[in-house]
Structures are given as structure tokens and as C-alpha cells.
């Protein structure tokens, strides 16, 4: 790989990349390898953006943002290998817990196909609904899903409206609604059926169709592995390759085109480039001032795609006590709980215990203004419901609310209500002059994941190299 150039502040560089998450860093490294002069600007004081790991007093890390990967996520796994970041299996040994209608049930997911135990009618409804979603999703062209003959019909309805028509059993409906919340960080009523199908279709690769099961599964699915040292280590090592070309604490406020050159201005940086890559979510690109303004289609896209709502709460324990009880640390709560999904987030060696709970969609929105003490009080009740009284013996808490982050405003990706994908879908990736768009939303595979972010960044870089 070529060494990155470090131009002076007056020099016109080939590319300014805005955003040092996986997408921006992947783009920059590919451009540097092609011999381009590059500057990467990041508003935060760290790389990774929504991939963020916190160092614990023990020396271990805990993942506060994206953390999992699995089959078909080829780019993130390959990049981790190239950067000597090892993976390890997500802990899922033992039985899981479900909580529904006030009843706690311990079950073996290997005996239930990974789902909570369901009655015969509910199981049939669930199977038919998932098979139907997969079949529709596999009809889509992952790059232009809005061109499907039924795209306008599918984009005119929410996922909720489709689910209510497709499923008659209340328990099966509640389960799929909960899974949709966990996958999309939004209520099913927030998202169009077309975006849901697109999300499913993109959970694969060039040779393997996407599937709902791959999205929700641990073994053989999107949650199969974690990264030793945390996934932010990938971003740190990518950023380390860029040297002085990477500039942190550099939020950008405006982009002005003068002739064939773009002037980029921020609080701590002013620079010029022939090309721009915006490696940001659509809503965040809309917070930059452009002269001349972006086309109406792109601007309206940024107004119509809100970020999902998600938070992580991690309870740290002296030991992973649930393992002694034969539990995996995985739990699902369908009603009356704050955290609907949990994972064992303990370190690889199990030297201490960590239970991670996801708070998503409306549940997260209700807590955005609450104090951490109020959130802890709600969450500890859920953990005790799932794992018993020992779950109250929390040594420390870590709470991450992504919607409250100035340079995220939500996570893990931007969602499309009805009548957005068919009207503005092309604007997600279509360049405006020499301004190119990356970010995980722009990927034809694993949109919403680290793998998708990398793919989108590399695709934007490739467009510049070809031009």
C-alpha cells in the first residue's frame, strides 16, 4: 500500500472523506492504495463512529456499538483477518429465557429452531410469514429494489400492516414485531414493507441470497462472532495507516463548489479537494450546508430517512453467574419489559460477567431523556425477571444512548417509512457532481452492518478511481 500523502492546508487534494467510521476509513485506504491524496475528517475524537468500544478497569473492552459478524459478511471478516483482529464465537451455550404474558420460560433453542417455544398454530403462522418474507425478498435486485414490479405496492404499506394481515396468532405476531424492532431499531409501523424486504435481501452476498433466519440467528447468522479486542480495533488500525491524513475533532459545517474544486469548511479545518466522499448517514449529510444546494431528491431523502432508535445497557458482574445455572445469557421479552433482547457480553475468557440488553424503537425513545439511574432501575428488574435475583448484584453499569450522540443521532442505520424508497432510493448512492455518498445505507449487501459500511466506502472510492 502506498504511504498517504499529507498535503498542506492550501493544497488541493484528490479526495476529502468526511466521516472516519468503517465506511470512510475503507474508502480512504482504498484511495491511498490507488495513489490518491486524501484527507479524512472526523467530528469525534475517535475513529469508528457507531463502532465504539469502552475500556474497562480490568483491561477488557465492552462494545457499546456494533459488535457482531457472521457468514456472508465477507468484507468485515476479511479486513479483520488482514489487520490481525481475531474473532471468537458469541457465547450461546445453554438454555435461553423467554418472557411473555407475565410468564418466564426456560427452553433449549436447538429444540425450537432458535425461536421461543410456540404452539402449533403460532409456529405455523410464524413459518409461513417468514417463508413469504424470504420469497418476496429474494425477488428483489439488491442494488435497485425499487425497480421491482410490486415495489410501489410494497412501499405503500408499513411492515405492521403486512404482518397483521399475514399472521392471525397473537403470540407469533408479537414475536415477529419484537424481532423487527431488534433488527431495524424502529417500530414496524415506522418502516415500509419494501425496506424490510430489502434489508432481508441484503443479508447475504453475491452468491448467497439473504434470509430472515440469517439476520436473527447467532450460530450461522449475523450474531455468530465477536472481535477480540473489539471491532473498533479494526477502525483504529485502518486509521493508523492514514497517519496525518486523518484529522479528528474536525466537524464540517459547509461544502462550497468553486469551479471544479470543493471547499470544505468546519470549526477546525478548511481544505480543498477535487472529490468529496460523505461517509455519513443520510440524516447527517443533511446537516451540512451546500453551495450550490444539493438536488431536491437528495435533500428530501435526508428529510425522510430518520435514524433508528437504539441503546445498549451492559450490566457488569463479578462472574457470568447465569452460566452456572445452565443459561446462555440470551433472553427475549415480548411484553412489559424495557430490554427485549439480551446477550452474554462477557469477555472471551469469562473473567467477569457482562449482560448486554438492547433497548430499541419506542422503548428507547421513552428513555432518551431519563437519567442513567432511572434506566438502571428499569433494566435491573428485567434482568432479574430473566435470570433471577443474582442479576441484581451489578458491580457497574454502562449505558449508551445513540440518539443522544450529536454526531450519530440514532442508530444503527436510517429507516425508510412508506413512499421513500421508491421516490428517493436512487439518491442514496447517486453522486452529485464529484460528491459521492457512502455509509452503510449505501451498500447492496448488509446495509445497516459494519460489512455494509465497508462495502459502501470501497464502492465510493472505486467510482472516484474510475472517473
Q: Cell numbers at residue 62, please?
A: 465492552
Are residues 158 and 238 located together in one domain of the fold? no
DSSP string, 342-366: EEE---TT-SSEEEEEEEEHHHHHH
Shared domain check, 405 and 332: yes
13 pLDDT more than 80: yes
Number of domains in the chain: 3
Q: Residue 441 annotated as binding? A: yes
Lookup: cell for 116: 421461543
Classify burial at 390, counting beta carbons within 10 Å of its beta carbon; exposed 0-12, middle 13-18, buried 19 or more: middle
Angle at 137 between CA 172 and CA 181, to 5 degrees: 45
Q: Do residues 325 and 200 both lie within one domain? A: no
Cell of 361: 424503537
Does residue 72 sit within a domain? Answer: no
Same domain as 361, residue 223: yes
| Residue range 74-97: mean pLDDT, rounded | 98
Q: Does any domain span residue 7?
A: no
Q: Region 14-25: what's the mean pLDDT?
A: 98
- Would you give the DSSP letter of residue 35? T
Please say if the pLDDT value at position 3 is more than 60.
no
Same domain, 244 and 258: yes
**Residue 149's domain is classified under what CATH number?**
1.10.405.10
Predicted confidence (pLDDT) at residue 299 exceeds the cutoff of 70 = yes
pLDDT for the residue numbered 366:
94
260-269 pLDDT, tens per residue?
999 999 989 9
Residues 276, 212, single domain; the answer is no
Is 378 within the bounds of a domain? Answer: yes
3 annotated as belonging to a binding site for a ligand: no
pLDDT band at 112 (very low <50, low <70, confident <90, very high): confident
Angle at which helix 120-137 crosses helix 170-184, to 10 degrees, equals 40
Taking 70 as the threshold, does the pLDDT of residue 5 lie above it?
no
Give me the pLDDT at residue 130, please.
Answer: 97
Shared domain for 273 and 397, answered yes or no, is no
pTM of the model: 0.96
CA distance 124 to 120: 6
Residue 2: is its pLDDT beyond 60?
no
Do 290 and 436 share a structural domain?
yes
State residue 368's pLDDT score. Answer: 87
Give the residue from 189, 216, 243 where a domain finishes: 216
Which CATH number do you get for residue 343?
A: 3.90.660.10
42 is in an annotated binding site: yes
pLDDT, mean of residues 371-400: 97
How many CA atoms lie within 13 Å of 100's alpha carbon, on the beta-carbon side? 17
Q: Which helix (H) or strand (E) holds 46?
A: none
The residue-averaged pLDDT of 377-403 equals 97
Residue 275 and residue 132 share a domain = no
Whether 260 is in a domain gets the answer yes
The per-residue pLDDT for range 47-57, each reduced to its tens digit, is 999 999 999 99
Residue 343 structural domain = 87-114+218-227+309-410
The predicted structure's pLDDT at residue 146: 98
Residue 114 pLDDT greater than 90, yes or no: no
CB 342 within 8 A of CB 385: no
Q: Dihedral sign, CA of 300, 303, 308, 310?
A: positive
Helix (H, G, I), strand (E, B) or coil at 226: strand
Q: What is the pLDDT of residue 9?
A: 53
Question: Exposed, middle or buried: residue 258 (CB in 10 Å: 0-12, 13-18, 19+)?
Answer: exposed
Average pLDDT score over the chain: 95
pLDDT in tens, 314-366: 999 999 999 999 999 999 999 889 999 999 999 999 999 999 999 999 999 99
pLDDT digits (tens, 9 = 90+) for 139-188: 999 999 999 999 999 999 999 999 999 999 999 999 999 999 999 999 99
* 388 lies in some domain: yes
Domain check: are 282 and 328 in the same one?
no
The answer to whether 161 is annotated as binding is no
Distance CA 210, CA 202 (A): 5
Amino acid at each position: 500500500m502506498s504511504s498517504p500523502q499529507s498535503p498542506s492546508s492550501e493544497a488541493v487534494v484528490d479526495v476529502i472523506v468526511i466521516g472516519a467510521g468503517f465506511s470512510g476509513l475503507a474508502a480512504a485506504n482504498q484511495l491511498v492504495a490507488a495513489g490518491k491524496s486524501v484527507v479524512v475528517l472526523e467530528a469525534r475524537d475517535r475513529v469508528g463512529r457507531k463502532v465504539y468500544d469502552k475500556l474497562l478497569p480490568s483491561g477488557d473492552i465492552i462494545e457499546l456499538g456494533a459488535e457482531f459478524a457472521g457468514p456472508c459478511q465477507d468484507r468485515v471478516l476479511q479486513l479483520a483477518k488482514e489487520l490481525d483482529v481475531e474473532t471468537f464465537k458469541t457465547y450461546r451455550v445453554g438454555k435461553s429465557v423467554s418472557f411473555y404474558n407475565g410468564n418466564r420460560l426456560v427452553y433449549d433453542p436447538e429444540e425450537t429452531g432458535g425461536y421461543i417455544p410456540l404452539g402449533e398454530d403460532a409456529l405455523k403462522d410464524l413459518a409461513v410469514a417468514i417463508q413469504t418474507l424470504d420469497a418476496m425478498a429474494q425477488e428483489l435486485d439488491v442494488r435497485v429494489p425499487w425497480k421491482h414490479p410490486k415495489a410501489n405496492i410494497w412501499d405503500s404499506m408499513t411492515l405492521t400492516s403486512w404482518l397483521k394481515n399475514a399472521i392471525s396468532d397473537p403470540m407469533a405476531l408479537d414475536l415477529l414485531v419484537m424481532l423487527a424492532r431488534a433488527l431495524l431499531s424502529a417500530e414496524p409501523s415506522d418502516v415500509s414493507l419494501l425496506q424490510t424486504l430489502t434489508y432481508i435481501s441484503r443479508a447475504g452476498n453475491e452468491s448467497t441470497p439473504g434470509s430472515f433466519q440469517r439476520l436473527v440467528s447467532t450460530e450461522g447468522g449475523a450474531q455468530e462472532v465477536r472481535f477480540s479486542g473489539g471491532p473498533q480495533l479494526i477502525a483504529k488500525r485502518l486509521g493508523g495507516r492514514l497517519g496525518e491524513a486523518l484529522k479528528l475533532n474536525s466537524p464540517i459545517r459547509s461544502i462550497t463548489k468553486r469551479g471544479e474544486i470543493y471547499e470544505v469548511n468546519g470549526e477546525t479545518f478548511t481544505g480543498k479537494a477535487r472529490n468529496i466522499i460523505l461517509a455519513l448517514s443520510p440524516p447527517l449529510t443533511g446537516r451540512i450546508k451546500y453551495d450550490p444546494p444539493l438536488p431536491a431528491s437528495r435533500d428530501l431523502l435526508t428529510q425522510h430517512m430518520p435514524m433508528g432508535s437504539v441503546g445498549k445497557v451492559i450490566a457488569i458482574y463479578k462472574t457470568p453467574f447465569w452460566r452456572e445455572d445452565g443459561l446462555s445469557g440470551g433472553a427475549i421479552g415480548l411484553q412489559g419489559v424495557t430490554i427485549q433482547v439480551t446477550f452474554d457480553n462477557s469477555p472471551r475468557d469469562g473473567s467477569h460477567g457482562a449482560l448486554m440488553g438492547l433497548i430499541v424503537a419506542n422503548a428507547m425513545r421513552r428513555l432518551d431523556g431519563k437519567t442513567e439511574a432511572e434506566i438502571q432501575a428499569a433494566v435491573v428488574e428485567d434482568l432479574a425477571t430473566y435470570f433471577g435475583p443474582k442479576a441484581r448484584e451489578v458491580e457497574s453499569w454502562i449505558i449508551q444512548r445513540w440518539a443522544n450522540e450529536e454526531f450519530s443521532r440514532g442508530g444503527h442505520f436510517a429507516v425508510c417509512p412508506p413512499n421513500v424508497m421508491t421516490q428517493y432510493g436512487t439518491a442514496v448512492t447517486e453522486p452529485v457532481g464529484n460528491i459521492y455518498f457512502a455509509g452503510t445505507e449505501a451498500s447492496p449487501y448488509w446495509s445497516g452492518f459494519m460489512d455494509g459500511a465497508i462495502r459502501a466506502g470501497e464502492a465510493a472510492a472505486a467510482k472516484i478511481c474510475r472517473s
